[in-house]
Structure 1
Amino acid sequence: MARAALKIVPRSGSYSEEGCFWDSDDSEFHTLHYVIPYPESFRPQLPDYFIQKFTAPDDAVLDPFCGRGTTALQ
């Protein structure tokens, strides 16, 4: 008998959707974000949101993959 690879978990009442990463104007981010096209990269709003939400000023942020440097520029 085949087993399901994924289990559908119903949304709980404690889950809340926060933030919208894609609404802000790209002009507010560093122009170096767009110098080198990198198809697997994420938009600057994504690391910016998590850095602001989960770090304090002067905290270190580790991005072990670095990609095109989106996180480092934030």
Structure 2
Amino acid sequence: MRHDESAVVEDLDVPVAALDATRALLWATSAHDASSVAIDLVRALGGTVVPANDIQGETLPIDLSFDEGSPC
């Protein structure tokens, strides 16, 4: 994940995004579904998801793939 300094997240957006992600996880039936929810949450919070081999700068090395496909 890489922080996008140009993205501005309003205070209310954070709990709404977390609630949306929690609800989506309740309906997840596969690791792929859970991975998609995690990636959507990162983006909703103003972050960017990059491939694991593209880590640089202030990127946090967190694998959101849940062993479904390439690490991201």
- Normalised to the residue count of structure 2, the TM-score between the two structures is 0.30
Q: Determine which structure has the larger strand proportion and give its number.
A: 2
Higher relative contact order (CA 8 A, sep 6+): 2
Q: Determine which structure has the larger helix proportion and give its number.
A: 2
Q: Who wins on radius of gyration, i.e. which is larger? A: 1
